[in-house]
Structures are given as structure tokens and as C-alpha cells.
Amino acid sequence: MNYDAQLNKAKEHFAKIMVEQLERIERMKAGEDWTDYDKLKTIKIGVLGGDGIGPYISAHAKKVLEFVLAEELKSGKVHINDIEGLTIENRAAKRKAVPDDVLEEVKKYHILLKGPTTTPRKGDPWPNIESCNVALRRYLDLFANVRPVKVPREGIDWIFFRENTEGAYVLGSSGQHVTDDLAVDFTVTTTQGSERLLRLAFEYARKNKINRLTVVTKANVIKTTDGKFLSIAQEIAKEYPEVECDDWYIDIMTAKLVDPKRRTQFKVVALPNLYGDILTDEAAEFQGGVGTAGSANIGKRYAMFEAIHGSAPRMVTEGRAEYADPCSMIRAGAMLVRHIGLEDRAKKLEMALDICGSFEKKLVMTGRTTGASAGEFVRYLMDTLTDGSLERKWQSFQ
């Protein structure tokens, strides 16, 4: 058998994507400054509704955000606008993960609040284009995916720092069918990409006086790339003697999250992209499911806040879109409020979410028409925020 032609094609492809990666490393080395929100005259927030239940839950989250940021909206410090066009129909028509005009518009904002978007896969009625989440994270260089999970009554208080632009995702759509029988995907770890994520996680631990940071990899098997991530973590850990750094493999970590005695020992967790994707879905399940978890995609220049779940198109076709839980998006909104420096208001919104969703539960959303609708739940949430009962209720549930 002579595979020369296929091998040459594969080598050419490999060389091309490696050059792209080396260029990316140079861009990371050049660096850029963090956006200073205090110095901005106006913080521009763009809302991308997405598709499926996305536009429904985003509209609710936007309403809550407008309420929480009323003062800043009035003074002109904050601007909130919708950005159209990130729907699956438009992405499919343009055959682009993020259509050019949408990306151009997105880049005019400092911060994005993004609803879930449908990610096509082989066999779907849609063309098999790349996930727009993944593309946006890459285009805007949102290198840290920060996902908190809390279950106070069980002593769970985790925050995951998922590397967001590398690993198995960086070339997710650049894998190759070398021959009909041989398919290859790539995973990439860079010094600069790992360092910036790990430093953010260690800094978070230091700032919040958290004495443990757990690094999760599969460095015993994925020796080169995961091995690199782990050894960089161990190097950086030396600069943070007050933070104990332990390392776990993803398989046993996944198991230990279900062990009630062991799981409370985890606090800050830093991990490569794919493990972070999987582990944070599992983690969110303890809190009440992926519908309850928000997430922040942080870069130096831009930041994007979103739910951690998908677009649930079936809820729309079955007429249940108004019953989709908007809490994930509202939690993402609270993270956004904290990110622009309004810690107090973020905390209050999170307290109200905990009271309504976990403690008091005067209204319960089930995702079905038998439960509360998102509109009813948001009214309940806003009442809890404004009727003067927040602190008292919070204390009584502690």
C-alpha cells in the first residue's frame, strides 16, 4: 500500500495548524492589558439571545440585569443592547460558527451576556459547523471559564477554572481523516495558555484566602500536554506557599465528587478544557442541575457570561419555552455584575437566587407547565430583592 499522497496532505495540514498555534503563542507573549471598567466612560454590554430556549431565558436575565444596574443605566455608566444574528438559522445559512457581521458587532462591546446556542453535530438537519461558544471563546481570547458551584447545606463550595481556549477544543474542527480508516484530532497545551489560566486561579485563591487549589489532569496517560499543564501548575504553586496545591487525575476526581466525605475538601479547581467541560456538568448536578449554574468566560479585553447548558430546542417545539429555568443566565448575570466591580449587588442577587431557588421555594420551576413559569419566578425573585426581607430571610436560612 502506498499512502504517500494522504500522508503528504496530512503533513501539510499539520504544518499549517502548527504555524497558526505558534502565531497564537506570539500574540499571547505580546499580551494586552486588562480592561479597566472604572476608567471606561460607558461599559457596553451586549446581549446575544442565542436559539432554542436562549432568547426566552436571556430576556429574563436581561430584565433582572437592567433592574440591578438601574442606577448605572440612568447615569450612562452602563449601556445594554441586544445583538442580533447568533441564531442557528443564520449561522447555518452563512455556514459560519459566528457570521462575520455578528462578530464585528460583538467586538464593539466590552461584555457579553450570551444565551445558549445550538451546537450542530453530524446527522443534525444543520450543517456540521463549529460550536459558536467555542469560536467566540477563541476569537475573543476568553481563556478562563470560571464556574462556581455551591450547595451550602452540604458544605460544597467549589469554583472551577477551566482552561477555555486550548486542549482538545483549540483545533476541535481541524482534525483530519487521513484515510477513510484513520481519523485524527489534536489537543494542544502551551506554556503561555496554561500559565495565564493557572495564575488567575492561584490569584483567586490568594485573594479570597482559600488554602487549597486542586489541579486535575490525566497526566499519567496524556503525558505530553497534560504533563505540561501539571508541571506548570506545580512551578507556579511555589509562588503561592499559602495555597496547598494537590493534583488529581480526572477519573478519580469524577468519582470523588460523588463521595460526600471527600468532595467538601475541594475548593478551587484548575483544569484543561475538556475535563473542565465534563467535571463542571457533574458538579452543577449537585446544585440542582446545569440549569442552575452560570459561568464566566474571562479574557483580558472581553468577558462573556453564559449558562453552562445547551439550547433545549425540544422545550420550544413542545411549547414549554416559558417554563425553561432562567436561573443559570441570571447567575451568569450576577457574575457579570461582580466582574464590573459591583460586588455588593452581585451578592444580593445571588442571595435572592438562593432564597427563591433553594431555601424558601415559594414557587418551584419544573421545566413543565405544571411548575412555575420563568416570568412568575422572576417576579418572585425581584420581589425578594426589593421587599426588604432579603437579609432577614437569608439569616433565617443559614
> For residues 227 and 224, what is the distance between their CA atoms, to the nearest angstrom?
5
Q: What is the separation, in whole angstroms, between the first and last Cα of the chain?
A: 71
Verify binding: residue 277, Mg ion, rule CB under 5 A. Answer: yes
Instruction: Please say which residue, 288 or 371, places its beta carbon nearer to ligand IPM.
Output: 288
Kindly list the distances between the CA atom of residue 288 and the CA atoms of 155, 264, 324, 365, in Å, as whole numbers in the listed order.
15, 17, 14, 11
**Which among Mg ion, ligand IPM, none contacts residue 189 (Cβ within 5 to 8 A by kind)?**
none
> For residues 303 and 164, what is the distance between their CA atoms, to the nearest angstrom?
12
In angstroms, give the least distance from the CB of 310 to Mg ion: 8
**Which among ligand IPM, Mg ion, none contacts residue 119 (Cβ within 5 to 8 A by kind)?**
ligand IPM
Contact pattern from residue 101 through residue 140 relative to ligand IPM, giving x for each residue in contact according to CB under 6 A and a dash for the rest: ------------------x-----------x-xx------
**Which among ligand IPM, Mg ion, none contacts residue 131 (Cβ within 5 to 8 A by kind)?**
ligand IPM
Instruction: Please say which residue, 28 or 135, places its beta carbon nearer to Mg ion.
Output: 135
Instruction: Please say which residue, 163 or 277, places its beta carbon nearer to Mg ion.
Output: 277
**Which among ligand IPM, Mg ion, none contacts residue 257 (Cβ within 5 to 8 A by kind)?**
none
Verify binding: residue 149, ligand IPM, rule CB under 6 A. Answer: no
233 and 246 Cβ atoms separated by less than 8 Å: no
In angstroms, give the least distance from the CB of 48 to ligand IPM: 14
> For residues 51 and 116, what is the distance between their CA atoms, to the nearest angstrom?
6
- Which of the residues 224 through 243 are near ligand IPM (CB under 6 A)? none
Verify binding: residue 308, ligand IPM, rule CB under 6 A. Answer: yes
Instruction: Please say which residue, 170 or 372, places its beta carbon nearer to ligand IPM.
Output: 170
Kindly list the distances between the CA atom of residue 242 and the CA atoms of 97, 188, 203, 209, 251, in Å, as whole numbers in the listed order.
43, 30, 11, 9, 27
Coil vs helix vs strand at 344: helix
325 and 291 Cβ atoms separated by less than 8 Å: yes
**Which among ligand IPM, Mg ion, none contacts residue 102 (Cβ within 5 to 8 A by kind)?**
none
In angstroms, give the least distance from the CB of 189 to ligand IPM: 17
Verify binding: residue 88, ligand IPM, rule CB under 6 A. Answer: no
Which one among 51, 141, 166, 277 touches ligand IPM, defined by CB under 6 A? Answer: 277
Coil vs helix vs strand at 321: helix
In angstroms, give the least distance from the CB of 173 to ligand IPM: 11
Kindly list the distances between the CA atom of residue 12 and the CA atoms of 6, 7, 8, 18, 173, in Å, as whole numbers in the listed order.
10, 8, 6, 10, 16
- Give ∠ CA 346-293-169 in degrees, rounded to 5: 115
> For residues 156 and 260, what is the distance between their CA atoms, to the nearest angstrom?
9
User: Which secondary structure element, helix H or strand E, spans residue 76, and what is its range?
Assistant: none
| DSSP of 8-27 | HHHHHHHHHHHHHHHHHHHH
Which residue is nearest to ligand IPM, using beta carbons?
A: 131
Instruction: Please say which residue, 274 or 352, places its beta carbon nearer to Mg ion.
Output: 274
> How far is CA 42 from its chain centroid?
24
What are residue 5's DSSP bridge partners? Answer: none
Instruction: Please say which residue, 110 or 309, places its beta carbon nearer to Mg ion.
Output: 309
Name residue, grid cell 484513520.
182
In angstroms, give the least distance from the CB of 392 to Mg ion: 37
What are residue 156's DSSP bridge partners? Answer: 151
In angstroms, give the least distance from the CB of 315 to ligand IPM: 16
* Number of chain residues interacting with Mg ion (CB under 5 A): 1
In angstroms, give the least distance from the CB of 147 to ligand IPM: 8
Instruction: Please say which residue, 145 or 384, places its beta carbon nearer to ligand IPM.
Output: 145
* Number of chain residues interacting with ligand IPM (CB under 6 A): 7
Between strands 294-298 and 144-151, the pairing is antiparallel
The one segment of 36-44, 136-144, 194-202, 277-285 that binds Mg ion by CB under 5 A? 277-285
**Which among Mg ion, ligand IPM, none contacts residue 134 (Cβ within 5 to 8 A by kind)?**
ligand IPM
168 and 273 Cβ atoms separated by less than 8 Å: yes
Give contact residues for Mg ion (rule: CB under 5 A).
277
Give contact residues for ligand IPM (rule: CB under 6 A).
119, 131, 133-134, 277, 308, 310
